[in-house]
Amino acid sequence: MTPALKFWLAFGLAIVADQIIKQCILHGVRYEGPVISIVLAYNEGVAFSMLHFLGVWLKYLQVVLLVGLGVFLWRQKALFQENALPFGLVLGAGVSNVLDRFVHGHVIDYVYWHYKFDFAIFNLADVLIDVGVGLLILKSFKAKDKQSKL
């Protein structure tokens, strides 16, 4: 599979999966569990509601950041080809959350961890961004380990 295909599959699946789940939540799907609950929450900021004070400008800032990352990857072809899957996850999930801001005025969050401690309510896009960044970090550590063995 080519790097471009990996990127576009990850990008598209991140958006589609996240948006489908968000539509289910908006249409009333809920779950109350002992560890995780599925609830409806509106996030006007980013992680842990940070930057909510930016209001409507936050979505434009995020668009600039996503476009900037896209342009950077376009110009850094080797980096893109080596990391197409994680970048596809990060950009696709980021686009999905920004799409929420334009359509709903805020991000739709729904996963609430409440076992032993209360955690911020988050969504699949947030998880996919974390997975993508985690894959990039893991790959970086593996590359450094490989270099140190040479």
Could you give the residue numbers annotated as active site? 109, 126
Which two tokens mark 145?
């380990």
User: Which one, of 109, 106, 108, 104, lies nearest residue 36 by Cα?
Assistant: 109
CA 80 – CA 113 distance, rounded (Å): 34
CA 147 to chain centre: 30
Q: Rounded to an integer, what is the distance from CA 133 to the centroid of its chain? A: 9
88, 10 contact by CB (below 8 A): yes
Rounded Cα gap, residues 94 and 110, in angstroms:
16
Residue 93 CA: distances (Å) to CA of 13, 31, 85, 129, 143: 9, 23, 12, 6, 26
